[in-house]
Structure 1
């Protein structure tokens, strides 16, 4: 029954919205919910006339900028063309390089002359692909020393072809560059093209263009969201806001629901006001305002491969937690691969649902692989938030003046608080000390007070420990009564002894748990590294999430595998 329900809800999503919806909890989960989704339908191809679209034409494999949803069982040929601009003439010895991502075949022309053909025969209406070719990776081809023949206004034209009318997917994308003493990019991915589908082009299509230079065509979809307590009264409808997803032309739509009833099951639907298609109803639940026994899950380092991600997302849904705290390295894009975020969202929405279809809300934290470059940056060279704009445009975060930041606190009534921190990815460790000191002091008497961030202070030995966090944050955790700290990044499992100043203190210390291995290849530190870390109570190279169960007398942290086995557990008494 659960599989059928999830499948039906997922199909509904695809009709009205492209990726989502996903629910984020931010600051007050008892009375508020942030609902978001990503829409790429504005770039579905117009048929029968030359139009503008972004490079990356295709369907069926979730990596296309201009989506050809009408191609399957209707036409097999796509024609594209564009003028190029040269900053300076190329030299006689300069080489022209083509990189292509294609499924199944193509022909490339420059100023009307065929210069490259792959897995194709014929041209125009007779163009065919004799067999299949999967677009698994970019393929590089040298066209020889012909770069000097190019001029500003030269026309690059291309036809792509599918091998079968009913093929499950299609891809056509190229990059063009000059290689010489200096390299010059002429065409990059997502550049603007003229394209023609479901129509044979005119005879001179390879040597002329018909549209004025302009931004690509797109439809400005408008959405509304309706919500109500399950089975109770009429839907309340509100308009969605939107903004661009990072540097793409896709849009992130959002509705911030406020004034919700605590501990209440809601249903909501999303309506595309242009097409009148509806996604939903979807189910969600607000957090209780007063304490009752409950559990949530927490983890990080989520998506090396889809099988690993899907398996742990399924486990998350089967645990039916109140929420999931996801703390960094979500899609491993290094702020440069939006398509992986679409896969990440799709996996979450499809698999991470309770048995009744309820969507599991997220509490989000940032990691190093959300940032361009993907590494840890020292105190005096921390990147600015624009270097992580994929993350910051997909999820609601806090702000300080005009600067977006990923440090904030989430309060569940007066019984549970989470302090989320940025472990040196878009904000320096020292810069967050005043916030941490004040926010933890204000919540010192909260029965359950947790902190979470990505890079471990007290790690497992797979990578260096964050000594700056040990020095600047850990004393504040100890002073203000933080009950547990959740760390990630090292791709293994660890649980420390309760620690004070880095030494075991069973009576008053803080346990540090996690180390991030939701859906990644795991690591195992050497025995020598473990021997240097007497704070480690348990370490295991196992993919996991941590289920945290809150009871009236304390809390328990169980480490679970994707198949639901508990391989480690720690129980801690209520201290306030």
Structure 2
């Protein structure tokens, strides 16, 4: 066949294919929305802000529903146009402020624009009942090392918290490129099922102004200090701004709001620069002690999350004081003090933890964040080492409070859980001493337990080597009810007791660990 005829045949055939391809492309076209994030401006139980970078296309609309309809936009019951857009950090940041949602509910959503339809994502509103336990990840300082930052981000997706409390210093130089990379990395926090977990951000000293927080996260205050209440009246979280004066309007607002919210069970605060950093390389923020710490003590703020120092620390409960026994403006007060924890380590350069205080509980130097559980009876704080997140399994979505396989929980000599107990909690009525014991998931026979007629459970175990031993009692809601810790026991037999005479009826798990490895698990049934 002549070349001209071959060419005409080729053009005819490929032309047909191009027509077919042109018909198929609209069916599989994806919207160019990238760098998604979720935040809150109002009640976390009934609202959600979905933000994204509109890379191309126009006229975006978010479609959402309690039922998963995939990418079928026509099937979704609700839709909303953007509430706000802001060109910032070389991104077209678009925000849809969704209101009148149902509490403690999963919503599925897609974004449609002139280019097509996005992947299907989901979010979950916060509970509005104080009877629901809440999981929080709290950390900060993700500036420089992307591998370390991505490790921590990946753990968010695996631990599936109700929210992430982030104390600032997202980037190093606050540049457009760094912010785009930061949001690219933040996509690793999205769950394997498309779940997006809300972030509650504070401003750090590496954010050159309030604008990145306003234009990248749609925070509810132009001054970037604000408060949100979760779980009905379970707790109120205060986000403060150390990069503007702590006195004046900010202090006045904090005092008024704390006074007006004494009815919530727990009050917490986050901000960037630590009052008493645990590294000598950072300057003191002594000015914040009279401005904020005095209010924390006066209005019973039980937990404060600090950042900036790039070290690890948790304090004993402390309060402002200059009396004998105080140090650097604070004194330990187990009954009326505030626990301060932090201080960053989501990828920023680590510093020497070389400035501990007499009231410091634990301190160290590694990349980490805090995994915090909140219920009516207590707050539990665990420090999670974030390196090697690829080796960590996902939590069971139906039980997000059980540590997954491979998760590394820091275990200093003071114990791996910091507990803040609610002094107003009352033990429930005794239900008798008839206790049934069964073994479950036993890995060895080093431990045995037995009850007596007074409701005590006796745990007998033997060690073949020096070990840190933990005996943990967990109820059917996977809440830790009691813990015995023995940091350095030499080889030999041991006998310990746990008083369950006042425990409410139900099924409990009693776990015996040695050097953080499960030795035996028992099931205890109290009728």
TM normalised by structure 2 equals: 0.65
Q: Is the Cα contact below 8 Å between 1:458 and 1:512 reproduced in 2?
A: no
Shift of 1:236: 1.2
| Match in the other structure for 2:375 | 551
| Match in the other structure for 2:97 | 256
1:535 correspondence with 2:359: yes
1:283 correspondence with 2:122: yes
1:37 correspondence with 2:55: no
Query: CA 1:453 to 1:37, structure 2 compared with 1: closer, same or farther past 3 Å?
Result: same
Q: Distance in 1 between matches of 2:153 and 2:241?
A: 24
1:390 correspondence with 2:218: no
1:493 to 305, 312, 327: 312
Q: Distance in 2 between matches of 1:319 and 1:14?
A: 32
In the TM superposition, what whole-angstrom CA distance separates every residue of 1:231-290 from its partner, at most 9, and x where no partner exists? 487331221144333374x42111000000000010010011x22x11121011000100
- Higher RCO (CA 8 Å, separation ≥ 6 residues): 1
Shift of 1:465: 2.0
Q: Distance in 2 between matches of 1:14 and 1:500?
A: 58
| Match in the other structure for 1:229 | 66
Query: CA 1:360 to 1:235, structure 2 compared with 1: closer, same or farther past 3 Å?
Result: same
Between the two proteins, the alignment pairs up a number of residues equal to: 357
In the TM superposition, what whole-angstrom CA distance separates every residue of 1:417-440 from its partner, at most 9, and x where no partner exists? 1011001x1454443111110111
| Match in the other structure for 2:423 | 575
Query: CA 1:543 to 1:475, structure 2 compared with 1: closer, same or farther past 3 Å?
Result: same
In the TM superposition, what whole-angstrom CA distance separates every residue of 1:331-370 from its partner, at most 9, and x where no partner exists? 2233xx1121111112112x11334331111111111111
Shift of 1:457: 1.2
Query: CA 1:505 to 1:328, structure 2 compared with 1: closer, same or farther past 3 Å?
Result: same
| Match in the other structure for 2:34 | 19
Matches within 5 A, 1:446-485: 446-462=264-280, 463-485=282-304
Shift of 1:453: 0.5
1:437 to 240, 244, 255: 255
Q: Distance in 2 between matches of 1:475 and 1:398?
A: 26
| Match in the other structure for 1:206 | none
Q: Is the Cα contact below 8 Å between 2:33 and 2:55 reproduced in 1?
A: yes
1:239 correspondence with 2:81: yes
TM normalised by structure 1 equals: 0.59
Structure 2: runs of 5 or more not aligned: 1-27, 70-74, 321-329, 390-406, 411-415, 425-527
Q: Distance in 2 between matches of 1:504 and 1:557?
A: 18
| Match in the other structure for 1:507 | 335
| Match in the other structure for 1:330 | 170
Give me the CA root mean square deviation.
Answer: 2.1
Q: Distance in 2 between matches of 1:525 and 1:514?
A: 12
In the TM superposition, what whole-angstrom CA distance separates every residue of 1:43-65 from its partner, at most 9, and x where no partner exists? xxxxxxxxxxxxxxxxxxxxxxx
| Match in the other structure for 2:502 | none
Shift of 1:299: 0.5
2:234 to 415, 418, 434: 415
Matches within 5 A, 1:266-305: 266-272=107-113, 274-275=114-115, 277-291=116-130, 292-305=132-145
Structure 1: runs of 5 or more not aligned: 1-12, 43-220, 372-386
